[in-house]
């Protein structure tokens, strides 16, 4: 902790062993080095409840394993996204759970969960991204619920769950292809709605671009849009919104 460093400096002025003018020069540098560093890290630890998360992506398995073990030791929990079965095997942590569809490995989910984040998927192919969102929010401490395959082509499937929609505090809508579901849901609820386009589709779906732009242009005002396939980001935002007004 670098407050110590500043404290020593100030103590020396107090004692008279350093003039105010000399201290001034020192403090200017400290400002950008240690104080800031400490403060911001400290804030992250205390306020966000969001531990560092490992994006497996192109990282080497051995690196991932090392980081995960370090996190487990330090904080008793970790989350790995875009992971593979191989990574899970190499981890060798029996109590961790691996979700093959979404590629999530999690360890140390909080016992008590709060509020309710509802995750909808338009089609069955969108489920991996929806699951990434749900597992992330859950890992961070949100109660989550999922409704899959309630896309716009079969309207009644969604309308049948009106009550579930009404009881959520925040709703994540995951959809590929034409990305129409968020607009439909947004017209039915008055909760914050997070839309996640997926790369599901072919031809002019452009790997999710079409769904992304459809969501950004929704006729329903105030929809929060995420990057393509970014279930993790949706889970983080859903958790933050879900926790508002909750005593943690």
Per CB under 8 A, which of residues 192..211 are in contact with a second copy? 192, 194, 197, 199, 201-211
Window contacting a second copy (CB under 8 A); options: 69-77, 85-93, 105-113, 191-199: 191-199
Instruction: Name the minimum Å distance from CB 135 to a second copy.
Output: 14
Residue 70 binding a second copy, by CB under 8 A: no
Window contacting a second copy (CB under 8 A); options: 68-76, 86-94, 105-113, 238-246: 238-246
The residues with which 80 forms a beta bridge, in sequence order, are: 54, 105
Residue 24 binding a second copy, by CB under 8 A: yes
Of 34, 91, 98, 107, the one binding a second copy by CB under 8 A: 34
Window contacting a second copy (CB under 8 A); options: 34-42, 70-78, 86-94, 104-112: 34-42
Question: Cα angle vertex 130, ends 129, 134, to 5°?
Answer: 120
Instruction: Give the residue carrying structure tokens 């489920």.
Output: 127
Instruction: Name the minimum Å distance from CB 146 to a second copy.
Output: 18
Of 1, 16, 86, 92, the one binding a second copy by CB under 8 A: 16
Residue 196, helix vs strand vs coil? strand
* DSSP code per residue over 199-246: ----GGGGGGHHHHHHHHT-SSTT-EE--TT-HHHHHHHHHHHHTTT-
| Cα atoms in the Cβ-side hemisphere of radius 13 Å centred on 203 | 2
Residue 62 binding a second copy, by CB under 8 A: no
Residue ranges in 161-180 that form contacts with a second copy under rule CB under 8 A: 161-163, 169, 177-180
Q: How far lies 226's CA from each of 105, 215, 216, in Å? A: 22, 9, 9
Instruction: Name the minimum Å distance from CB 94 to a second copy.
Output: 26
Residue 61 binding a second copy, by CB under 8 A: no
Looking at residue 125, what DSSP letter applies?
Answer: G
Binding residues for a second copy, total number by CB under 8 A = 110
DSSP element (H, E) containing 47: none
Nearer to a second copy, 141 or 235 (CB): 235
* Nearest CA among 145, 121, 74, 64 for reference residue 98: 64
Residue 213 binding a second copy, by CB under 8 A: yes
Instruction: Name the minimum Å distance from CB 112 to a second copy.
Output: 17
Beta strands at 193-197 and 224-225: parallel, antiparallel or unpaired: parallel
| CB 210 within 8 Å of CB 179 | yes
Of 27, 74, 100, 110, the one binding a second copy by CB under 8 A: 27
């Amino acid at each position: 902790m670098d407050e110590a460093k500043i404290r020593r400096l100030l103590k020396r002025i107090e004692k008279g062993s350093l003039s105010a003018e000399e201290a001034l020069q020192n403090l200017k540098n400290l400002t950008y080095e240690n104080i800031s560093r400490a403060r911001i890290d400290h804030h992250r630890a205390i306020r966000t409840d969001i531990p560092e998360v490992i994006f497996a992506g192109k990282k080497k398995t051995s690196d991932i394993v090392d980081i995960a073990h370090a996190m487990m030791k330090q904080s008793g929990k970790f989350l790995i996204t875009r992971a593979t079965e191989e990574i899970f095997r190499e981890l060798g942590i029996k109590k961790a759970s691996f979700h093959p569809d979404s590629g999530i490995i999690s360890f140390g989910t909080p016992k008590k969960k709060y509020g309710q984040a509802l995750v909808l998927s338009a089609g069955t192919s969108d489920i991996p991204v929806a699951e990434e969102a749900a597992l992330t929010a859950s890992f961070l401490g949100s109660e989550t619920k999922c409704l899959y395959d309630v896309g716009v082509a079969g309207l009644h499937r969604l309308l049948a769950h009106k009550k579930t929609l009404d009881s959520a505090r925040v709703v994540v809508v995951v959809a590929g292809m034409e990305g129409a579901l968020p607009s439909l849901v947004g017209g039915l609820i008055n909760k914050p709605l997070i839309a996640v386009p997926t790369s599901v589709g072919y031809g002019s779906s452009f790997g999710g671009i079409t769904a992304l732009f459809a969501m950004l242009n929704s006729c329903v005002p105030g929809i929060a849009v995420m990057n393509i396939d970014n279930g993790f980001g949706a889970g983080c935002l859903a958790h933050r919104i879900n926790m508002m007004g909750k005593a943690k």
